[in-house]
Amino acid sequence: MLNGLAKILVKKPKTVLLLYTLLTLIIGYQATNLYMVSDLSVYLPEDQPEIKLMRKIDREWNIGPTLIIYVEAENILDIDVLKDMDTVTKQIDPYRHDEGRLDGVISSNSIVSLVKLENSLPPPIGRGRYELPESEYLIKKYVAQIGEGRKSLVTDDLTSAAIVFTLRRGCDGDDILSRANRAINNVTTKMYLVGSLPMDKEIKKLSLRYLAIVFPIASLLTAIVIILFHRTLKGLIIAFFPPIYSIILTFGFLGLFTPELTLLSVAIVALLIGLGVDYSIHLMNRFAEEDNKDIVSRMEKTLRTTGKAILLSAVTTMVGFSSIMISSLPPLVNFGLGCTIGISLCLVSTIILTPCLVVTLRFEERGKLGAWKGLAKFASSYSGRVLLLACTLVALSILAIPKVETNVNYMEMIPKEIPVIEKTKEFAEKFGFTGNINVLLVEGDLTDPSVLKGIYRVEEKLRERGLVAYSIVDAIKKMNLGTIPDNRYLIKSIYSTILKYNSMFIDRNFSKLLISINIPAGLSMDEQREIVNTINGIVENSHIPGCKIYRLTGSTAITVAINDMLFDQQMRSLFVSLLFVFATLIIVFGSSLYATITMIPVVFVLLLEPSILVFLDIPLSVVTIVIASIVVGTGVDYAIHITQRVREGLKQGLDRLTAVREAIEKTGLSITEASLTTVAGLSAVYVVNILALQQFVTVIIAMILLSLLGSVFLLPSIYRK
């Protein structure tokens, strides 16, 4: 079979190239269906209780992204500034009572709306009219009456304010942003758009740009490495064409079946260039090494030996990537799928294109590194010392496990130095939030005075802990001159008055409401967990007859929940990838002994991961969690090639030392070239100004280089023994 395949590829190389090119272009055209998802909520696992509760709230109120107008002035309470804020609010939210059906805005909240609400209260508290008073004295009086509730909307020094718009899910974000930009450009007060809506749009635009930038840079860096090793343009072409075809095919298939891309998709391009080039390098180097004059026989032997190792390494790499797909985080599933498809296509493209290109370009030899023989002699002669050093490093790394941090900070998945994003961060530092929602869902008879009083007691307990909590119950209390009514009919009357002026998070049947809680931004994971536990503790110890209060959900609660599941997620995907890779090795090698020995460098590198994370000060996050599974798939490739070459040497009658030394000298050089091209391809991701992706690449590069050392030094040392 291999002889027949070799004959077709060698005898008709140009025909095969033409047909495969046409197929690639046809499938690759489907990449036009791809689109970038910038909403960070896609990183949330659907099976978590906090997520399910948030989805329930979303269905009830159709809560979507947030738009915030960040206002700066010498005095926010200046009547002209307040009028500008009022004008902007009316232009963005022209239909205040449509629940977002017409203008996409469910509610708007600002110091202006709070002042209007105070003014709408009956005398002596207000003047009974929902409007912005002209009197500076009244404005200051109302702001004082609002009390602590104003702090999330205006700073204490009165130089900054926020207009917060809660948008309807599925709204026309472009239209709202267009209205908002027109509105803030037509007033004299300085205003900026911040929040999730403008950030999402900017991230989407940048992500597509990054995807376009990473490909040529990864190609250039990889080309430099190949040129350094081969010093020939032929070697560069042969190594590059298969992965380029593979990337086009991969994104074509994704466009057909899963067209949704995320920020992680940027890394797929770099990974496929780096890994795809590896397969081509191994194949063309082995072909050049064979001295048989019959080109068909040379290619047949190359496919039978190195081709078999490439097949095995591709399968194990696919297993490593596919194990990521058991994650409950949707983007990781898509990332695993994209990489798995991509690696399978790299294998196919390499087997088909490399022989055709080798023959067409008459590739015969490659550059040599004279010092490599000395290195091979050293590695095979000092096996005992290598094993001792490896054991020492592993022991130190195990001691570092308790120091590994987990952190789910979505702000690290956002590009740096972008005006909208920098302004959002500046806003978060001043106001302590970025528009993210943290709420308690309450269900019960909300016309029952005892229920409202119980809800208010819960809010008071939250405020005693230094938290800002607010619901429609506070408005009812204020409308009734500081007390909650004891009469159902009066409560219903106040509801109708409040909802006439403001949209509040209460359903039409008065059976569900939300308590909004402001949780400061920039807290450590331990601080966030403590706040979530405090709030949930208050909820669990509050018993209101006929009323149910759910545990906290929203940004902070979900972040804490994901953070707590990260380690379990990694252990589960890692166990699956190790199990299936080991099983694959047993099947292909037909030997549990060789399979076990081949896995040792991989396990060695995995055991070093804790020390790498601690040394580089990189936490385990929703991005770095996939690294262990990736390393299982990619790292075992190098070990497979060494094992295959050692077995080949032993079958030829070489003694163990000579077989090991020859494996390092010949295959080890190809492995080094392959690993360095992978590192070069991945290095292109550093141009993406996103901390999470940069950390992701840093850890992968470190572990790939350690995989190289483990395969070239540790594995031969074991075979030597």
The three-state DSSP-derived secondary structure of 666-699 is HHHHHHHHHHHHHHHHHHHHHHCCCHHHHHHHHH
Calculate the alpha carbon distances from 550 to 44, 452, 509, 515, 554 in Å. 19, 16, 19, 10, 12
Q: How far is CA 371 from the centre of its chain?
A: 42
Amino acid in the structure at residue 449:
P
* Interatomic CA distance for residues 629 and 127, integer angstroms: 66
Give 96's DSSP letter: T
Most confident of 63-67, 479-483, 590-594: 590-594
pLDDT score of 256: 87
Quote the percentage of the chain above a pLDDT of 90. 14
Average pLDDT over residues 265-294: 76
Average pLDDT over residues 522-546: 86
CA torsion 476-478-479-482 (nearest 10°) is: 100
Q: Which of 166, 153, 201 is nearest to 181 (CA)?
A: 201
Q: Taking 70 as the threshold, does the pLDDT of residue 364 lie above it?
A: no
* Interatomic CA distance for residues 88 and 143, integer angstroms: 20
Burial of 269 (0-12, 13-18, 19+ CB in 10 A): buried
Q: Taking 90 as the threshold, does the pLDDT of residue 183 lie above it?
A: yes
Give 712's DSSP letter: I
Count of beta carbons in the 10 Å neighbourhood of residue 104: 25
Per-residue pLDDT reduced to its tens digit, 196-227: 788 777 777 777 777 778 888 888 888 888 88
For residues 612 and 295, is the Cβ–Cβ distance under 8 A? no
Q: Considering only 285-289, 362-366, 496-500, 508-512, which range has the smallest mean pLDDT?
A: 362-366
Q: Taking 60 as the threshold, does the pLDDT of residue 137 lie above it?
A: yes
Q: Which of 633, 597, 601, 630 is nearest to 710 (CA)?
A: 601
Average pLDDT over residues 604-633: 80
Burial of 524 (0-12, 13-18, 19+ CB in 10 A): exposed
Amino acid in the structure at residue 180:
A
Report field, pTM of the whole predicted structure over 0.75? no
Average pLDDT over residues 399-412: 72
For residues 558 and 54, is the Cβ–Cβ distance under 8 A? yes
pLDDT score of 712: 82
> Which domains are delineated in the chain?
2-33+201-412+559-720 (1.20.1640.10), 62-194 (no CATH), 446-545 (no CATH)
Average pLDDT over residues 467-478: 84
Average pLDDT over residues 165-183: 87
Q: Considering only 210-219, 401-410, 418-427, 480-489, which range has the smallest mean pLDDT?
A: 401-410
For residues 226 and 240, is the Cβ–Cβ distance under 8 A? yes
**H-run or E-run covering 597:** helix 592-616
Average pLDDT over residues 136-153: 80
* Interatomic CA distance for residues 673 and 228, integer angstroms: 9
Give 153's DSSP letter: T
Q: Taking 90 as the threshold, does the pLDDT of residue 394 lie above it?
A: no
Q: Taking 60 as the threshold, does the pLDDT of residue 2 lie above it?
A: no
Query: What is the average pLDDT score of the chain?
Result: 81
Q: Taking 60 as the threshold, does the pLDDT of residue 176 lie above it?
A: yes
Q: Taking 60 as the threshold, does the pLDDT of residue 410 lie above it?
A: no
pLDDT score of 274: 75
* Interatomic CA distance for residues 496 and 490, integer angstroms: 10
pLDDT score of 437: 74
| C-alpha neighbours within 13 Å on the C-beta side of residue 18 | 4
pLDDT score of 145: 80
For residues 379 and 720, is the Cβ–Cβ distance under 8 A? no
How sure is the predictor about 83, in pLDDT bands with cuts at 50, 70 and 90? Answer: very high
**CA dihedral over 359, 362, 367, 370, signed as positive or negative:** positive
Per-residue pLDDT reduced to its tens digit, 695-705: 888 988 998 88
Average pLDDT over residues 640-668: 81
Q: Considering only 9-23, 29-43, 463-477, which range has the smallest mean pLDDT?
A: 29-43
* Interatomic CA distance for residues 671 and 712, integer angstroms: 8
pLDDT score of 551: 92
Residue given tokens 């159709």 in the structure block: 62
∠ CA(241), CA(242), CA(243), 5° rounding?
A: 95
Q: Taking 60 as the threshold, does the pLDDT of residue 414 lie above it?
A: yes
What are the b/e assignments for 177-189, b being 16+ CB within 10 Å? bebbeebbeebeb
Q: Any residues with CB less than 8 A from the CB of 59 and at least 6 apart, and which?
A: none
For residues 29 and 319, is the Cβ–Cβ distance under 8 A? no
* Interatomic CA distance for residues 458 and 542, integer angstroms: 7
Q: Which of 143, 99, 60, 101 is nearest to 439 (CA)?
A: 60
Please report the DSSP string for 231-279 in residue order.
Answer: -SHHHHHHHHHHHHHHHHHHHHHHHHH--EE-TTHHHHHHHHHHHHHHH
Residue given tokens 């929902």 in the structure block: 130
How sure is the predictor about 588, in pLDDT bands with cuts at 50, 70 and 90? Answer: confident
How sure is the predictor about 297, in pLDDT bands with cuts at 50, 70 and 90? Answer: confident
For residues 408 and 566, is the Cβ–Cβ distance under 8 A? yes
Calculate the alpha carbon distances from 675 to 320, 524, 611, 672 in Å. 17, 37, 21, 5
Per-residue pLDDT reduced to its tens digit, 619-641: 877 666 677 777 787 778 788 88
Q: Regarding beta strands 512-518 and 468-470, do their DSSP bridges make them parallel or antiparallel, or are they unpaired?
A: antiparallel
Q: Considering only 400-414, 465-479, 535-549, which range has the smallest mean pLDDT?
A: 400-414
How sure is the predictor about 125, in pLDDT bands with cuts at 50, 70 and 90? Answer: confident
Q: Which of 673, 667, 616 is nearest to 642 (CA)?
A: 667
Quote the percentage of the chain above a pLDDT of 70. 87
Q: Taking 70 as the threshold, does the pLDDT of residue 77 lie above it?
A: yes
How sure is the predictor about 192, in pLDDT bands with cuts at 50, 70 and 90? Answer: very high
Q: How far is CA 380 from the centre of its chain?
A: 42
Sheet harboring 105-109: ordered strands across? Answer: 105-109, 160-168, 63-72, 190-194
How sure is the predictor about 408, in pLDDT bands with cuts at 50, 70 and 90? Answer: low
pLDDT score of 295: 73
Q: Taking 90 as the threshold, does the pLDDT of residue 187 lie above it?
A: yes
Q: Which two tokens stand for residue 257?
A: 């079946």
Q: Any residues with CB less than 8 A from the CB of 602 and at least 6 apart, and which?
A: 578, 581, 631, 632, 635, 636, 639, 707, 710
| C-alpha neighbours within 13 Å on the C-beta side of residue 393 | 21
